[in-house]
Amino acid sequence: MPTPTRAFLLGPLLKGVSRSFYLTLRVLPAGMRDPIGLAYLLARAADTIADTSLIAPARRLELLLSLRDQVNGVASDGALFQRMAAEVADQQSQSDEKVLLESLGPALDVLAQLSESDRKAVREIVSTLTEGMEFDLRTFPDERSGRIAALHEYGELDRYTYLVAGCVGEFWTTMTYAHMPGTLKAQPANMKARGVRFGKALQMTNVLRDCGKDLRIGRCYLPQTMLAQHGLSPQDLLLPANSLRARPLMVELLRKTLDHFREALEYTLTIPAFAVRLRLACLWPILIGLDTLLLLVDNAAWLDPQQVSKVSRNQVYRIIGTSLLLVPSNALVRRAIERRIRDIEARF
C-alpha cells in the first residue's frame, strides 16, 4: 500500500482504531492532539500484538519487546515491521488494525518529527504501557490452554492498573503543562498523582466490567487473597450463577474504584473553566465510567460474559450533549459526578 501520511495516521486511521477515544482526542487543544494521538496509535499496535491469540505468547512477547526497542530508538531492525505484518497483521479480522500494524514504520517517522520533549514523553508512556502488556503475557497462561491464573494480592492489581492506565494520567498531565502553560495552577506533582488515580479509576471499571470475558481467556485480575476472604476461587467466577455470591467482592473493589473517581473529579475541577476542551476531555470518561459502574452494580449476572455492563452508543451521545451544559460550572460538574457516586453507593 502507499506510504501513509501523517494526516492519514493521525486522522482516518486513528479514528478507525480508537473508537470512543477519538471523540475525546478531537476535543483536545490542537498542540496536544499529535503526541497523544501518536502515543495511542503506538500503544494500540503493541496491544494488538499482545492480544493476537493465534500466535504463541512467547513469540508475541518477543515482538512486543522488539517494538518497544524500536520506539525507544535503541534498535533498528528494518525487517521487524515486515515480520509483524506477516505474523500479526494477517491474523487481524479488523482491517484498521491490519493497516495500523503495516503503518508502524511511518508512525515512527512521525515520532522522530516531534519536539524532543514530546518524543521523550511518548516513548516513556509507550514503554510503560507495554510493561503492562508484558506483565499479562508473563503472568497468564496461553488463552487456548483452558487454564486460569489469578493475581496474588490487591497491591499487584493496583500496580497493574498503573501500568496500563494510571501512567496515562501522568502523561496527559505532562502534555497539559507542556502545551497549555499557565492553565494548571496546581503543583505538577499533585496533578500527576491525581492523574494516576484518574487512570486507575477507568481501568478498575474495565476490570470489573470485563471480568467474565477475561476469565474465559485464563485471566483473573481479582486477587487470590481477596477471593479467599470471600470464600471464592477463580474457577468459581466462571459460573455466572455465582454472581450473587461474588457480589460482596465486587462491592469491595467498587469502593476502591469510587475513591479513584473522587480524585478524578478533583483533577477535573482543577482545570479552569475557560479550558473547556480540556475539561470536556476529562469529564466524558468520568461520566461514562460511572454510568458503566451503575449498570454493573445493577447487573445480577455481572460474571456472565454475555451480559456485560456496557454503556450504549446513544447513552454516550446523551452524556456528550448534557456535558456541554455542565462543563462551565464547578458546582454543576461536582453535582453530576457526586450524584452518580451516591446512586452507585446506594445500591451496595
pLDDT digits (tens, 9 = 90+) for 6-39: 888 988 999 999 877 888 888 888 889 999 999 9
Rounded CA separation 67/127 (Å): 10
Compute the average pLDDT of residues 51-77.
Answer: 88
C-alpha cell at 191: 496533578
Contacting residues for 47 by C-beta, under 8 A, at least 6 apart: 129, 133
Query: What value, to the nearest 5°, has the Cα angle with vertex 35 and ends 176 and 69?
Result: 125
Dihedral in degrees, nearest 10, Cα atoms 179, 323, 163, 313: -120
pLDDT of amino acid 322: 96
Query: Is residue 80's pLDDT more than 90?
Result: no
Mean pLDDT (whole number) for 49-55: 87
Unique residue bearing C-alpha cell 476490570 = 207
pLDDT at 181: 93
Identify the bridge partners of residue 149 per DSSP, sorted by sequence position: 219
Distance from CA of residue 257 to its chain's centroid?
A: 14
- Specify the pLDDT at position 94: 60
Higher pLDDT, 293 or 101: 293
Who's near 117: CB < 8 A, 6+ residues apart? 178
Give the DSSP H/E element, type plus range, for residue 71. Answer: helix 57-72
Q: What domains are defined for the chain?
A: 1-116 (no CATH), 140-348 (1.10.600.10)
User: For residue 266, what is its C-alpha cell?
Assistant: 478533583
What letter represents residue 192's amino acid?
A: K
> For the chain, how long is the longest CA-to-CA vector?
57
Residues 214-242 have pLDDT tens digits of 999 999 999 999 999 999 999 999 999 99
Q: Is the pLDDT of residue 1 over 80?
A: no
DSSP string, 214-278: HHTTTEE-S-HHHHHHTT--TGGGG-GGGTTTTHHHHHHHHHHHHHHHHHHHHHHHHS-TT-HHH
CA end-to-end distance (rounded Å), the chain: 54
Poorest-confidence range of 86-90, 148-152, 198-202, 339-343? 86-90
| Of 318 and 99, the one with more pLDDT | 318
| Angle at CA of residue 123, ends 119 and 125, nearest 5° | 120
Using the predicted structure, report yes or no on whether residue 87 has a pLDDT greater than 80.
no
Flag whether pLDDT at 83 surpasses 80.
no
pLDDT of residue 270: 97
Amino acid sitting at position 36 = I
pLDDT, mean over the chain: 93
Q: Is the pLDDT reported for residue 89 higher than 90? A: no
Mean per-residue pLDDT, 108-137: 97
Say if residue 194's pLDDT is above 80.
Answer: yes
Short-list 290, 277, 266, 267, CA closest to 341: 290
Q: How far apart are alpha carbons 334 and 285 in whole angstroms?
A: 15
Q: Which residue has the cell 451503575?
A: 294
The answer on pLDDT for 91 being more than 70 is no
Q: What is the pLDDT of residue 4?
A: 81
- What span, in angstroms and rounded, lies between the C-alpha atoms of 274 and 254? 33
